[in-house]
Amino acid sequence: MLWELEYGKGYGDQVLLQETTMADKKALEIQIFQDGMDERWAYARLGQTIDGTRLRALLDEKIGIWIFLGASCACNSITPNERGVFGVEINDGTHIVDFLFGQAAVAERSQSPTHRTILLQTSSGNWVHHPIDIIGQYHDAQWKLPEHISLSIIFGAESLATGRHAGYVHGFTVEKDMTSSTQQPPGLSVPLATNQRMHHASDQWMTPQQAHQPWQNAPAESKWGRHNGLIVDCVE
């Protein structure tokens, strides 16, 4: 399936996506350098649209994600978790659910009529598996189940979080018939690259579209394009 790559940044910021190995797991690394010279977020987003039989199958399963919150080289006393975002977003065009990974004493959540934010406690420096309970959040909010969703991995830092920040994604998991498995859900494999081709032949890059999220408060001025491999160095 198509994974849509989108990024935005200020002139001196940097956004880097590449395949790597972190703590014995193959991973997608998303690295942000925020110079703090303007008020723009530096962010990267990988997303895809899921509908039809794929969405119905997804809602019938329990999915999760393996993530690693990397140590940050901050240039001031503000932690990246306070001034950044790392998570999974579910957007059906009317409702949004954000599963955000962060260092908090307890899991937190907030809700508006159309937007739910779930903060999942995540310590830095080790792999953590988090459930992404889409159908549970829709039921709790008493929302009608969606006919289509955009599922995105997001990572970014606002202007106050100056310095270098990194997050890693190993992949999604699916649970079938109460038996946990490391199998990737159809179409949800993270697009890791090899030297010649994508790790999964069905995964491709697609030219990004403009998004409308609070951390994306300015249009991207960087170059967009289709990438056959994962290494994307967005430095100007």
Give the Cα-Cα-Cα angle 42, 115, 213 (nearest 5 degrees): 25
Q: Where are the domains of the chain?
A: 2-233
**What's the token pair of residue 5?**
């790559």
Contacts of 188 (CB under 8 A, 6+ apart): 48, 58, 63, 151, 172
Phi, psi of 157 (to 5 degrees): -140, 135
CB 32 within 8 A of CB 15: yes
Q: Which CATH number is 2-233 given?
A: 2.60.120
- Check residue 3 and give its pLDDT: 83
What pLDDT tens digit does each residue of the chain (236 aa) get? 678 899 999 999 999 999 999 999 999 999 999 999 999 999 999 999 999 999 998 888 889 999 999 877 655 544 444 578 999 999 999 999 999 998 764 445 667 899 999 999 998 899 999 999 999 999 999 999 999 999 999 999 999 889 999 999 999 998 764 443 445 555 566 654 322 222 222 233 332 333 334 333 333 332 222 222 333 333 33
Cα separation of 84 and 107, whole Å? 17
- Check residue 112 and give its pLDDT: 86
- Check residue 80 and give its pLDDT: 41
